[in-house]
Amino acid sequence: MAAVKVTRNGSVTLPVKFRRALGLREGDLVTAELSGGAIVVRPARVIDAEDAWFYSKEWQAKEAEADAEIEAGRVSHAFHSVDELMDDLEGKTPRRRKKR
């Protein structure tokens, strides 16, 4: 346990060993909450607004479903091109891949 001083404007300085252990650097954001008479400070997980869709409950449920399908072996194979994927979806004979 470390004692830290609260400044006039409410700031505190986290000990170096705490910052290092959590990988915190100057300018990083943290969250703070009251819990059972204590202040709990955690590194903030900031998500760019354009990426927020990926972390929605709906999308994560679909990700979990896809992971389960892969784990169960119910995925046929990887596609090497969009054309190959579209052919498979449309039930067409696969196009021959160009040799490189």
- pLDDT per residue over 37-50, tens digit each? 999 999 998 889 99
How far is it, in rounded angstroms, from Cα 19 to Cα 13?
10
pTM: 0.48
Note whether 29 and 70 are same-domain residues.
no
pLDDT-based confidence at residue 100 (cuts at 50, 70, 90): low
Note whether 41 and 64 are same-domain residues.
no
How far is it, in rounded angstroms, from Cα 79 to Cα 88?
9
- 94 vs 87, residue with greater confidence: 87
Note whether 22 and 61 are same-domain residues.
no
- pLDDT per residue over 32-91, tens digit each? 999 999 999 999 988 899 999 999 999 999 999 999 998 998 887 788 899 988 888 888
- 25: domain CATH number? 2.10.260.10
How far is it, in rounded angstroms, from Cα 21 to Cα 38?
20
DSSP 86: H
Three-state secondary-structure class, residue 35 = strand
pLDDT at 45: 85
Note whether 60 and 39 are same-domain residues.
no
Rg, Å, the chain Cα set: 25
**Could you tell me the residue range of the domain that residue 34 belongs to?**
1-46
The token pair that represents 97 in the structure block: 């891949």
